[in-house]
Structure 1
């Protein structure tokens, strides 16, 4: 069974906008993180343009708004819109571990949090936002998207409250 760090890193790849790099990594991802095989198998037989269009339709379309958003601060309170300071709360753990986000996404972007967790072993951000992860998982399941299987695997790996920490 793969370590949770491998699962978190692989899930981060699955939840980013699909590109050629993801497609090239699918065989490795499938073997390294068997919990993600449903998604990996789907992605392997789906043309990249279709994968990208589905990603946008699920996570970035104006039609869906925030209903399936990958920004954890959005899920702090059901239906609440982040006030801009919510994402800032994510920055401190990154700093404590000597990490800085590179790129355009804010620190509460789920793939960034998953990569942070994989690199540091610190599951606190995921544990604190587990209720939101569960709501997102439920909504994705209801939508019938293969991304639901990724959230299934992540939610299954996130420790229960009180069992989190910074250990490997």
Structure 2
């Protein structure tokens, strides 16, 4: 079995910066976020191209789209359609008892690092996981790797829909380990089957022969 390797151009500082920016860009595009865009752009400019370029596309969308339109697009994308769910355990466990166990395990990891979530925050929201990873890179990266399937399925769904937030997921993927054959097949299987108790799977996704592209050397 080939050993998984982290993208060689990324140091720990780059990953922490990237995860913090990605976390913020997955937030609702309210006035507070829009006011931080120049700061985020400067941070992104320091990142390697594979990680930074996808984020520039998201920043450009937010900078050039009327706020009400961006907010409406965000709500239509992440709040109204499960196939774009930012809650990573849902892709694997659906709305089953196993998902509750997975959420509890995530909370335990956070608590061990001194982070207590508010009652209105679910521990598997990708923005929450990324924020945790930015402050605690070692356990944070492990959580992202453990939930890689959900990340890639969400990435595929956003890409197929030509969503402006695709760039965030492309950037997240570029910070993680290389996907090899078995992992890619597992993701394809998840796309076909969908979460437990979802009779129609995650349609309408692309056919199984299509998978997200990866930077050179990451196939």
> Which TM class, normalised by the smaller chain length?
0.7 to 0.9
- The one-character-per-residue Cα deviations of 1:63-85 (angstroms, maximum 9, x if unpaired) are x2x111000111225xx334333
Q: Which residue of 1 aligns with 2:158?
A: 140
Give the 3-state SS of the residue equivalent to 2:83 in structure 1. Answer: coil
Q: Which residue of 1 aligns with 2:182?
A: none
Moved more, 147-156 or 84-93: 84-93
Displacement after TM superposition at 1:103 (Å): 5.5
RMSD: 1.7
Displacement after TM superposition at 1:31 (Å): 1.9
Is 1:69 the equivalent of 2:85? yes
1:71·1:110 contact (CA, 8 Å) conserved in 2?
Answer: yes
The count of residues paired between Structure 1 and Structure 2 equals 156
1:113·1:126 contact (CA, 8 Å) conserved in 2?
Answer: yes
Q: Which residue of 2 aligns with 1:16?
A: 27
1:88-167 superposed matches below 5 A? 88-102=104-118, 104-121=120-137, 122=139, 123-160=141-178
Structure 1, unpaired ranges of 5+ = 162-168
Distance 1:41 1:99 in 2: 32
TM-score of the pair, normalised by structure 2: 0.67
Structure 2, unpaired ranges of 5+ = 1-9, 46-51, 180-219
TM-score of the pair, normalised by structure 1: 0.86
Return the index of the structure with the highest Cα Rg.
2
1:127·1:160 contact (CA, 8 Å) conserved in 2?
Answer: no
1:75·1:129 contact (CA, 8 Å) conserved in 2?
Answer: no
Displacement after TM superposition at 1:33 (Å): 1.6
